[in-house]
Structure formats: structure tokens, C-alpha cells
Amino acid sequence: MQPRDLSTHSVYRAGRGIEEVARELDVDPDELVKLSSNENPLGPSPAAVEAIQQHASHSHTYPKSSHTDLIDAIAREWDVSPSQVWLANGGDGALDYLARAFLEPDDRVLVPQPGFAYYPMSARYHHGTVGTYQLDKADDFEQTATTVLESYDGERIVYVTSPHNPTGRELPRAELLALADQTDDSTLILIDEAYAEFSETDSAVDLVDQRDDIAVLRTFSKAYGLAGVRLGYLLAPPTWADAYERVTTPFAASELACRAGLAALEDDAHLDNTIELVRWAREYMHDRLQPPTWPSGGNFVLTAVDDAQAVAHASKEHGVIVRDCTSFGLSDCIRISCGTREATKRAVDVINDIV
Ligand SMILES: *Cc1c(COP(=O)(O)O)cnc(C)c1O
């Protein structure tokens, strides 16, 4: 017995956990600074932690009211109808629901290169085929309608990340509108706003109500510090009706995730502190890193080095874990997440010493 032919599928390789690296280096995890996964340096919202603790004893029940309440709260947050909120097990789960709802076998999608690894994976799981559009280092990874349209050929879904991971670059709103206008009526533009809280640019969420060919992805993993809880959602045009109900897993998010999300949405102080810290760290890295950096709207900075693997390795030996971008196709770049002030300063010192 064998599963179906999975040879075209690739495996998602997450950055290694801090405990793993600590064991390898034989040091205390507290001595390490992990700036490789764009996690929140302030940790989760304390209100979310309290909510998880409080509701732990309800874990035996299905998340009925909390699931509905969270969808309603997200809808209020964005001024959309609850039926437009596709709650999911992380933003990644929402990508799966989208592919499930949209792709017929062999439908094509278009993803950025370099880009987020889960777009093509999710599309392939749902029997889609994948093409890429290039974001060129020579153009400083600039994102415009043209960079996408040069590779566009009627694909069903075009994935756009803004702010983009791993480059940090953004797609200006006028370019998004131009892109949506110049693609076919049957093409959806998925705007992935996983890092949008850190950007100075307005969200594209209002466009979701105005047209039927743009959807927006958001997550609690980054600005809300709930990456371990797995909670994200897609905001869909009202015209898609009950598509979500027809493709979702029963109870897409867990009781504890929903409780954490509800509490986190109320915790403005934690969100504001996070954004302030990230913007400080971004500026600090742009100003102080000796190797060149690219402008970033996210909670990380992409930096050019000669040999990403060597620099990431040496940095780890000094207790600072950064992301070697070779797996993104950028063997001469590292991505450094914004840390606490102390961690960010230490990372900059270590990287400057190495290069
Ligand atoms: C982190 C991230 C997501 C969402 O991650 P989840 O933890 O599944 O919510 C989506 N897109 C990009 C580009 C990301 O970096």
C-alpha cells in the first residue's frame, strides 16, 4: 500500500526551535536569541494567556460559542459581515480553505519567487499547478502590478504578500488595484497581510467589500504573538456567499485558540507595544547593520551578505539565530526578525562582527 504520488510535493521546513539549537550548542536556551521565525519578541498578549488558563477546564467541549464570538469580533474589527470571515487554524489553514474553495483539478496559480513556501504547497495539495513571478534583487525586490503581470497567464489565484516575506517590500495600493483590474474576471488576488500591523500602509480589507476579486489573509501569529496557538483568517467578498461553510473543517479553530484570539483582540496595549518595538528595531537594523538592507514593512529585515549559510552558522555560534534565506532562493541574504531592544542590538553587533 502506498499513498498517491506525492513526488511533486515538498516538505515545509520550519526554522529550528530554540531548544533544539541550545541542545546542539550545549548552552542554556536563555542564552540564545532567536530571530529566525518572525515571532513576537514580547511574547503573547498577557490577556490571551489568562484566557487560555481560564478556559483550559472547558477543553472537553467543542468550541461552539467561542468560535462564533471570535468570528463576530473579527467582523466588527474590520466592519465586514461575519459570513465574510473564514476563521482557520493559522493563516496557513485559511490558505488551504481558499484552495479548497477555488481550485478545480489542474487549475493554475501564480506565486512570488522568492516567497512564502506554503502557497505552492497548499495549491498542490488541492490538485492545482503552480507558476511563479519573480521579485528581482536587481530591482530591490520591488512589487508592482507589472512584476506580476509579466508572468501572469490567466491563473485562478495570484498570491501577493504585502509586506512581503522575506524581503519586507510592499505592493502599493494603486498597484494592487491595477493588478486586479488587469487580470481576468475569474482571477482572484489573494493579499497576504500577515505582517500588515507593522506597516505604515493601509490594509486592503476595505477593497474586499467593493469588489469580488480580492481577498485578504490575516493572522494572530505575528503582531498578536500567538504563533503557537495557530489562529488566522481570510476576509472574503460578500458575494462568495456560503463557500466557507461548505469547505471548512468542523470547528476550524480550537476552544483555547478562540478564547486567546478574543482576548488578544481586546488587548490594544500589547499590540501597540509590539508595533512600537518592531518599528524601533527595524530602524535600528537599517541604521546600524553594516551590510546593505532593504526597506521593510514587516517585523524583520532582509540583509545582503556574501554567504548566507556561513553567516547564519557563525551567528548561531555566537548565540544569535537568524534565517538563512537559501531556501527562499537567496543564498546571499539573511532575514533577521525584530527582537527586543537588547536582542536586536546584540544581533546587529554579532552580524557586523562576522561580515
Ligand atoms: C507567518 C506567515 C503567514 C501565516 O502564518 P500562520 O502562523 O499560519 O498564521 C502567512 N503568510 C506569510 C507570508 C507568513 O510569513
Task: Quote the ligand 1 centre to 91 CA distance (angstroms).
Answer: 5
Best of 12, 221, 230, 235 for a ligand 1 pocket test (most atoms within 8 Å of beta carbon):
221
**pLDDT value at residue 313:** 96
Ligand 1 and 114: CB distance under 6 A? no
Which ligand 1 atom sits nearest the alpha carbon of residue 219? 9
Ligand 1 and 171: CB distance under 6 A? no
d(CA 249, CA 87): 10
**DSSP-assigned beta bridge partners for residue 215:** 190
The pairing of beta strand 33-35 with beta strand 232-235? unpaired
**pLDDT value at residue 137:** 96
**pLDDT value at residue 172:** 97
Ligand 1 and 163: CB distance under 6 A? no
SS3 190: strand
Task: Quote the ligand 1 centre to 239 CA distance (angstroms).
Answer: 25
- 0.85 exceeded by the pTM? yes
Ligand 1 and 192: CB distance under 6 A? yes
Digit-coded pLDDT (tens) for 211-255:
999 999 999 999 999 999 999 999 999 999 899 999 999 999 999
Ligand 1 and 227: CB distance under 6 A? yes
**pLDDT value at residue 164:** 98
Annotated domain spans of the chain:
18-40+268-354, 47-266
Asked whether the beta carbons of 211 and 237 are under 8 A apart, the reply is yes
Q: Which of 170, 177, 159 is nearest to 216 (CA)?
A: 159
d(CA 53, CA 89): 20
Q: What is Dmax (Cα atoms) for the chain?
A: 57
d(CA 206, CA 79): 9
Which ligand 1 atom sits nearest the alpha carbon of residue 192? 11
Q: What residue owns the CA closest to ligand 1's atom 15?
A: 165
**pLDDT value at residue 19:** 87
HSE, CB side, 13 Å, CA atoms: give it for residue 241.
2
Which fold is adopted by the domain 47-266?
Aspartate Aminotransferase; domain 2 (3.40.640)
Asked whether the beta carbons of 118 and 11 are under 8 A apart, the reply is no
Q: Which of 243, 215, 94 is nearest to 158 (CA)?
A: 215
Digit-coded pLDDT (tens) for 21-58:
888 888 898 889 999 999 999 999 999 999 999 999 99
Q: What residue owns the CA closest to ligand 1's atom 12?
A: 194
**pLDDT value at residue 11:** 84
**pLDDT value at residue 8:** 85
Digit-coded pLDDT (tens) for 287-302:
999 999 999 999 999 9
**pLDDT value at residue 188:** 98
Which fold is adopted by the domain 18-40+268-354?
Aspartate Aminotransferase, domain 1 (3.90.1150)
Whole-angstrom CA distances from 116 to 9, 157, 166, 195, 212 are: 15, 15, 8, 12, 24
Task: Give me the residue label for grid cell 487580470.
Answer: 183
d(CA 12, CA 297): 24
**pLDDT value at residue 20:** 87
Whole-angstrom CA distances from 230 to 92, 172, 318 are: 9, 28, 31
Ligand 1 and 90: CB distance under 6 A? yes
Q: What residue owns the CA closest to ligand 1's atom 2?
A: 194
The pairing of beta strand 232-235 with beta strand 85-88? antiparallel
- pLDDT below 50 — which residues of the chain? none
